[in-house]
């Protein structure tokens, strides 16, 4: 049994101009110790998916339907109290912006202790000792001094390390990382990615990595799910997805990214563009969500939404025309 | 040989910061501390580096959005760092800017038509009302926006479309140089590709010089001719694209390039992971500013500041290592 099973997740928001179907019928699973990346552009529903998993969507205006089974239990059916026992304990989360997600008026140590005292029932002293241990684990120098400092006294990279320390303090089974390195500089990003890989090996938590950076995906994910306009359009093991993407959107996304070293391997080619824009999610979409921007789209695509279909072993895509078989053209 | 379009000589910009009780003690942020480079007509020079390295400050100093502390900025043979406001006004027509955030850099109360007409009127470029109209519609065609959109306001557009409006506004003045300050950084992947392609097309069509300020090295490699790498207010390496990406010489450039995650799963690479963080530009390290994080540091680096010197051809490096580590 998978650690996390999401079935037909629908997260909709009531807005003055209609219902926004931010996530519309997404199913996926995460195995124990596995790293799943969810990729897509702004507004594709990747962050709303992660917030739904933590039940952090305010209801109303939001509404979550479907099933989210964590270790066999549907967390959408839990009371708020039961959910609080899971959040930060069994499932924890790292956000993009470490400055706004840490409390500026509490010391770093207090913020790590809080989680430990609530969930693990540690006393002040044991929690303090564990907090220092966690700071050491995430590679913060002089942890005994840092534990008494406030977030503003730390650099961006250090703050993100503190966020990771808080998230891992209770040994979660699942860690959701929502754009964990997007706000960081590239040399700091390299430090944090290395840290996440090391910690994964040592702690063994499953990770859901949400990002728009295909480089980061290639670096740490094992399996990738591509979202577009609130739907899952493709899913495959990471090497397979980069080698032979099946969905025209995934192909477009990969073609639109310049590669480092491109100037050395011959003439710089033009970047592939995906024409047009993401559809308005407040209007019902008939047919394929990508039809409006797809070069292959026909009347079939505009009328009937393609179902997710296995195009190769463990490789599924929602497209009427995506090639089947071992290697795509 | 014709002189370069833009020449920057030993540019310095220090900002005061107030510290101490009642802010009486003043310290300085050495944001840009002695930067020199040139841009030829029709050339793209990219300024790369991490947050706080001073790359945006350089861009703003060139546009004279503030006065510089010392040094010279010379546009087409004429000094503009100390130019009189009336001269400056004419010079501004020749250099324009595209900012990072297309949400805050367009006036929400103005229609697109007025946003584009303003620079044309300011610099008296249109001969008549009809000419103004022709220019404005031509700009929309140039940046591939529908002409009907002229009567709409910025909030009605997506991020990518707004960035097109920002580019059209920069082009309206018929500049020779455009400073692109992280102009594509806030955009989504597929939209970013559209804007990068547009900028390249425009450069070819109008012979524009671009100062492309960015932290995204893959985009820089895709569209630049030359690259200047900055660290803590200094240029540590300048070279043509091929040299920088094939054989970076400065240890910081190497670390920066090796830290970029590649979109190729299982790619063999050995990232040089730099320890620690960028030091504060208020108290920059003595000697070479990179010495606190450099894997090859030795005694001389801590005391003596390295100068830019040629490492063969057009590649200039500021590093003491005599035999600079190869590729």
Q: Which residues of B touch A41 (CB under 8 A)?
A: 188-191
Please give the torsion angle defined by the CA atoms of residues B154, B159, B164 and B169, in that order, rounded to the nearest 10 degrees.
Answer: 40
Interface test with chain A among B189, B204, B215, B222, by most A beta carbons within 10 Å: B189
pLDDT for B289: 93
- pLDDT tier at B317, thresholds 50, 70, 90: very high
pLDDT for B152: 92
Q: Do residue B278 and residue A185 have CB atoms under 8 angstroms apart?
A: yes
Instruction: Tell me how crowded residue B186 is: count the other CB atoms within 10 A of its CB.
Output: 18
- Residue B309 CA to residue B185 CA, distance in Å, equals 31
Query: To 10 degrees, what angle do helices B189-206 and A248-255 make?
Result: 50
Residues contacting A11, CB < 8 A, separation 6+: A22, A23, A45, A48, A49, A51, A52, A57, A62, A63, A64, A65
Instruction: Tell me what percent of the residues of chain A surpass a pLDDT of 70.
Output: 97
Q: Has residue B121 been placed in a domain?
A: yes
pLDDT at B212 over 90: yes
B130-174 tens-digit pLDDT: 999 999 999 999 998 999 899 999 988 888 889 999 999 999 999
User: For residue A31, what are its two tokens?
Assistant: 């195995």
Contact B233, B53 (CB under 8 A): yes
pLDDT at B323 over 60: no
pLDDT for B32: 92
Q: Which residues of B touch A261 (CB under 8 A)?
A: 221, 245
Residue B189 Cα, gap to closest chain A Cα (Å): 6
- Residue B166 CA to residue A43 CA, distance in Å, equals 23
Q: Do residue B160 and residue A277 have CB atoms under 8 angstroms apart?
A: yes
Q: Has residue B156 been placed in a domain?
A: yes
Span of A24-33, A178-187, B17-26, B134-143 with lowest mean pLDDT: B17-26
- Residue B73 CA to residue B32 CA, distance in Å, equals 13
Interface test with chain A among B188, B212, B248, B255, by most A beta carbons within 10 Å: B188
Q: Which domain holds residue B168?
A: 109-174
ipTM of the assembly? 0.78
Q: Is the preceding peptide bond at A60 cis, omega within 30 degrees of 0?
A: yes
The average pLDDT across A157-174 equals 87
* Plot region of B273 (φ>0 → left; ψ -120 to 50 → alpha; else → beta): beta
Q: Has residue B163 been placed in a domain?
A: yes
What Å distances lie between residue B255 and A222, A323, B271, CA to CA?
26, 40, 7
Q: Has residue B190 been placed in a domain?
A: no
Q: Has residue B324 been placed in a domain?
A: no
**Closest chain B residue to A240, measured at CA:** B265
Q: Has residue B146 been placed in a domain?
A: yes
Residues contacting B178, CB < 8 A, separation 6+: B95, B96, B97, B98, B170, B171, B208, B209, B210, B211
pLDDT at B327 over 60: no
Q: Which residue has the tokens 């907090």?
A: A131
Q: Has residue B115 been placed in a domain?
A: yes
- pLDDT tier at A271, thresholds 50, 70, 90: confident
A83-100 tens-digit pLDDT: 998 988 899 998 887 778
- Residue B194 CA to residue A252 CA, distance in Å, equals 12
Measured between CB atoms, which of A242, A255, A273 is closest to B194? A273
B268-285 tens-digit pLDDT: 677 788 877 788 888 889
Q: Which residue has the tokens 């099973």?
A: A5
Q: Do residue B245 and residue A217 have CB atoms under 8 angstroms apart?
A: no
Provide the domain count of chain B: 1
| Strands (DSSP E) found in B40-119 | 44-48, 70-75, 78-79, 95-98
DSSP per residue over A138-182, as a string?
A: TT-SSHHHHTTS-GGGS-HHHHHHHHHHHHHTT--SEEEEESTTT
| Strands (DSSP E) found in B200-298 | 209-214, 226-231, 234-240
pLDDT for A324: 66
Q: Has residue B216 been placed in a domain?
A: no
- pLDDT tier at A327, thresholds 50, 70, 90: very low
Q: Using CB atoms and an 8 Å cut-off, which of residues 31-90 of chain A contact chain B?
A: 41-42
- pLDDT tier at B322, thresholds 50, 70, 90: low
């Amino acid at each position: 049994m998978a650690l996390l099973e999401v079935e037909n997740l629908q997260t909709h928001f009531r807005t003055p101009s209609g219902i926004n179907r931010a996530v519309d019928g997404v199913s996926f699973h995460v195995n124990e110790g596995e790293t799943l990346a969810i990729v897509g552009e702004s507004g594709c529903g990747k962050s709303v998916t992660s917030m739904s998993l933590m039940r952090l969507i305010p209801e109303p205006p939001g509404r979550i339907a479907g099933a989210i089974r964590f270790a066999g239990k549907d967390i959408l059916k839990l009371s708020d109290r039961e959910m609080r026992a899971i959040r930060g304990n069994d499932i924890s989360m790292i956000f993009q912006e470490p400055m706004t997600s840490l409390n500026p008026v509490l010391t770093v140590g207090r913020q790590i202790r809080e989680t430990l005292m609530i969930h693990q029932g540690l006393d002040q002293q044991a929690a303090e000792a564990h907090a220092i241990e966690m700071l050491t684990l995430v590679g913060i120098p002089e942890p005994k001094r840092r534990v008494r400092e406030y977030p503003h006294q730390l650099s961006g990279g250090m703050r993100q390390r503190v966020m990771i320390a808080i998230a891992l303090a209770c040994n979660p089974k699942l860690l959701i990382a929502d754009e964990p390195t997007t706000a960081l500089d590239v040399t700091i990003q390299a430090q944090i990615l290395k840290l996440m890989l090391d910690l994964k090996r040592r702690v063994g938590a499953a990770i859901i990595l949400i990002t728009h950076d295909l480089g980061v995906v290639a670096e740490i994910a094992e399996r990738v799910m591509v979202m577009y306009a609130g739907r899952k359009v493709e899913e495959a093991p990471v090497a397979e997805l980069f080698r032979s993407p099946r969905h025209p959107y995934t192909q477009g996304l990969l073609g639109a990214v310049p590669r480092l070293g491109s100037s050395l391997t011959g003439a710089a080619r033009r970047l592939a563009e995906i024409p047009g824009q993401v559809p308005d999610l407040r209007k019902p979409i008939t047919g394929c969500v990508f039809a409006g921007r797809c070069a292959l789209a026909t009347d079939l695509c505009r009328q009937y939404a393609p179902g997710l279909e296995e195009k190769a072993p463990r490789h599924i895509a929602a497209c009427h025309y995506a090639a089947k078989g071992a290697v795509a053209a | 040989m014709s002189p370069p379009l833009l020449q920057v000589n030993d540019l310095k910009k220090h900002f005061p910061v107030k510290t101490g009780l009642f802010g009486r003690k003043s310290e300085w942020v050495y944001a840009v501390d002695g930067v020199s480079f040139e841009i030829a007509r029709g050339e793209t020079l990219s300024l790369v580096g991490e947050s706080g390295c001073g790359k945006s400050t350089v861009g703003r100093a060139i546009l004279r959005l503030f006065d510089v502390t010392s040094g010279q900025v010379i546009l087409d043979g004429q000094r503009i760092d100390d130019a009189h406001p009336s001269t400056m006004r004419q010079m501004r027509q020749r250099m324009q800017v595209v900012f990072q955030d297309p949400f805050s850099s367009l006036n929400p109360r103005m229609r697109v038509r007025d946003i584009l007409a303003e620079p044309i009127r300011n610099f008296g470029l249109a001969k008549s009302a009809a000419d103004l109209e022709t220019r404005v519609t031509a700009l929309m065609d140039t940046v591939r926006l529908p002409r009907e959109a002229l009567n709409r306001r910025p909030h009605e557009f997506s991020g990518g479309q707004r960035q097109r409006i920002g580019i059209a506004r920069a082009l309206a003045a018929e500049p020779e140089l455009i400073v692109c300050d992280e102009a594509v950084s806030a955009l989504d992947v597929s939209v970013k590709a559209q804007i990068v392609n547009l900028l390249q097309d425009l450069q070819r069509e109008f012979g524009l010089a671009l100062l492309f300020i960015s932290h995204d090295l893959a985009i820089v490699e895709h569209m630049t001719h030359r690259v200047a790498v900055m660290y803590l207010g200094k240029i540590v390496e300048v070279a043509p694209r091929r040299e920088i990406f094939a054989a970076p010489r400065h240890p910081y450039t190497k670390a920066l390039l090796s830290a970029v995650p590649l979109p190729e799963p299982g790619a063999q690479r050995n990232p040089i992971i730099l320890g620690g963080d960028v030091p504060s530009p208020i108290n920059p390290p003595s000697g070479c500013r990179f010495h606190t994080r450099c894997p090859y540091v030795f005694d001389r680096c801590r005391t003596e500041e390295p100068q830019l010197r040629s490492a063969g051809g057009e590649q200039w490096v500021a590093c003491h290592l005599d035999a600079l580590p190869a590729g």
